[in-house]
Structure 1
Amino acid sequence: MSRVRIFTDSTSDLGAELLRQHEIGVVPLYVVFEDETYQDGVTMHAERLFQRVAETGKLPKTAAPSPADFEHAFRPVIEAGDDIVYIGLSSEVSSTYQNAKIAADAFPEGRITVIDSRSLSTGIGMLVLTAAEAAEQGKSAAEIQSIVEGMIPKIDVEFIIDTLEFLHKGGRCSSLQHFIGSLLKIRPVVKVIDGAMTLTDKVRGKREKVLAQLLDNALANKDDMNTSFMFVTHAKAAEEAHYVKRRLEELTGMSKVYVTETGCVISSHCGPQTVGIVYAKK
């Protein structure tokens, strides 16, 4: 009897243990430093990326997997008789989704379902993990698609970015904004809105104040949270991420709060010491 396999891309930022536990396939994006190309999470990891940025003073470029990359990943599963549900990076920020669609069209109709997460990082991860659990329960690809698409508008993704340096290098803030922000120790708050990263607030002060703001923003929706599970996602800020996890467990009563680390693509936009909270609303 055929089953449904769940696929995603490397920007979903699910840890290796969760990917292995639920047999989730991953198609990596690319990270490009001048003439050197690496696969996100395979031949380049966030720690090394931060080292390269420090050495060169430049951010890498990122690139979507090609349709051929997706076809190569999908073909063994389809030939084994299983169906695929792929959930990937928002179409607002990357051609990853479109390339997956092109690859899916190379296979018989209905064998591969491609879903635009309208999210990034573990906002995608929440959808992927939900899909994987549904597949393990024996649900069909159509049933999984319905569950995931119903959940997409309910995903809340918010990050506190520690430094404007990476946003500045990436052309997302001016030199003047970077200078003033650094001088005043201003840290931006970024949410995913309509499938894209959006600056929603700026917090001035020490890290403790910034983390308290992040927690307060999430806890304002405590009564509306889906209590199945949530994520605390970070870039080179493990100690603070685990602190946020403990506080969320204490204040929400949620038993499954996963801590994951951002991959190269998300890290290259946000920079080190970024911490985010991701959850679904009821």
Structure 2
Amino acid sequence: MKIKLITDSASDLPLSYIQENSIDFACLEVNIQGEFLQDDFGQTIPYEKFYAHLRQGEQTSTSQVNIHTFEELFERYIQEGYTIIYIGLAGILSGTVNSATVARINLLEKYPDADISVIDSKSASLGEGLLVAKACEMIQQGYSKNDIVSWVETNRTKVIHAITVDDLNFLKRGGRISAATAVIGGMLGIKPSIKFDNEGAVLPGAKLKGNKNALKYLVNQVLEKGVDLASQTIYICHADCLANAELVKQMILEQTSVGDIVINPIGAVIGTHGGPGAIGVMFLGTER
């Protein structure tokens, strides 16, 4: 059985990993100065250039993947005889998974024997990416499609998202948190943290004083909530603050053994809502 793994650009995995493992993807888009550009793992708009726009006050917005795009993407692999697993950005954050679901329904009318699984990751950025990478690993190890889908659906709410941001106003503008929450964070002069609930909705977390305490908080979340750290990969995503990401990695390795640590920038779509300076650690725990 040939399995084709597909994700979307909000998974924020390294482009080299996507390419080396033949993972296909659908691109969400970001609107910059009235022009919609593909969020394609830093190819169309490099990460540094995107965050420079945000720091200069540019008001960016994002757009989900449409149904037609998924129909074209899925149909190509159906015709090549693949069974398809698509793992997408949390449905509560974007209509992208819904577009994929409608595309699946439409294609099954044309190809009744097609095998397409659409999975809502209930996650974002490298939290989604973690699930994609695990599915990829299971494909390479020869697991069945049903076993892979079952693992992802069972474990998606065990993906912990520990995130700190510099400015809550980016989340407020995108409708991810309330105006009151954003104002309180700004008034206290703190480094706010956020977390995800089991549907992937953004919730306010601990309020942290200063960058040093914020980074310690991220590390402590791994130590307190992570399971079987010695054999799992920890994912660190950052919004143009690589030095902080490297410091978090160093702090984790000083205190525990882990299977591996992957660091990658946050792409334009997720970065639009998190803003420059955001940093997140994603890993498997017992529950969110």
Normalising to structure 2: TM-score of the pair? 0.88
Aligned counterparts of 1:239 and 1:151: Cα–Cα separation in 2: 30
The count of corresponding residues between Structure 1 and Structure 2 is 278
**1:272 match: secondary structure:** coil
Q: Say whether the 8 Å CA contact 2:190–2:210 is kept in structure 1.
A: no
Q: Say whether the 8 Å CA contact 2:64–2:94 is kept in structure 1.
A: yes
Q: Which residue of 1 aligns with 2:267?
A: 263
- 1:212 alignment partner AA: K
Gaps in structure 2 of 5+ consecutive residues: none
Distance 1:209 1:267, change over 3 A: same
The alpha-carbon deviation at position 152 of structure 1 amounts to 1.1
1:198 paired to 2:240: no
Aligned counterparts of 1:177 and 1:228: Cα–Cα separation in 2: 34
Q: Percent identity?
A: 30
Aligned counterparts of 2:240 and 2:39: Cα–Cα separation in 1: 16
Aligned counterparts of 1:142 and 1:49: Cα–Cα separation in 2: 39
Deviations 1:238-272 (A, max 9, x none): 11111111222232201311111110111111111
- 1:202 alignment partner AA: K
Q: Say whether the 8 Å CA contact 1:30–1:62 is kept in structure 2.
A: yes
Q: Which residue of 2 aligns with 1:18?
A: 17
Q: Which residue of 2 aligns with 1:51?
A: 52
Aligned counterparts of 2:174 and 2:269: Cα–Cα separation in 1: 12
Q: Which residue of 2 aligns with 1:75?
A: 75
**2:160 match: secondary structure:** strand
Taking only aligned residues, the RMSD between alpha carbons, in angstroms, comes to 2.2
- Counterparts of 1:1-282 in structure 2, within 5 Å, are 2-33=1-32, 35-41=34-40, 42-55=43-56, 57-105=57-105, 106-107=107-108, 108=111, 109-170=113-174, 172=177, 174=179, 177-178=182-183, 181-182=185-186, 184-194=188-198, 195-203=200-208, 205-222=209-226, 225=229, 227-281=231-285
Deviations 1:68-122 (A, max 9, x none): 1112222222222111100001111111011011112214344211101111111
Aligned counterparts of 1:219 and 1:257: Cα–Cα separation in 2: 14
Q: Say whether the 8 Å CA contact 1:88–1:97 is kept in structure 2.
A: yes
**1:220 match: secondary structure:** helix
Gaps in structure 1 of 5+ consecutive residues: none
Aligned counterparts of 2:171 and 2:123: Cα–Cα separation in 1: 19
Q: Say whether the 8 Å CA contact 2:29–2:39 is kept in structure 1.
A: yes
